[in-house]
Amino acid sequence: MAEEEVQEPARQDEEEGPGYEESFARVEELVKELESGELSLKASIQKYEEAVKSMNRCYQLLDEAQKKIELLVKDSEGIVTGRQDFKTE
């Protein structure tokens, strides 16, 4: 008897769409295109709209990551512990 392949159900917390790195790289590409000065006004507006959508995706993914981290560092009373401010250099 042949073994049946069991497929795991898709995880509920995984959203479809580009990941953070892909979205951010796209924003960088769009900025370079916009800064080139070679686009028409219409094309520039379209590229700008796409960049805003990609940045919103980045913000969404960062927000989701922050919420997951906070869940991992809460104590038994639901108080966030071990939270540190990240220093930027």
Max mean pLDDT range (9-13, 60-64, 76-80): 60-64
3-state secondary structure of 36: helix
In tens, the pLDDT along 1-42 reads 454 444 444 443 455 789 999 999 999 999 999 999 999 999
Reported residue count of the chain is 89
What pLDDT, on the 0 to 100 scale, is given for residue 12? 38
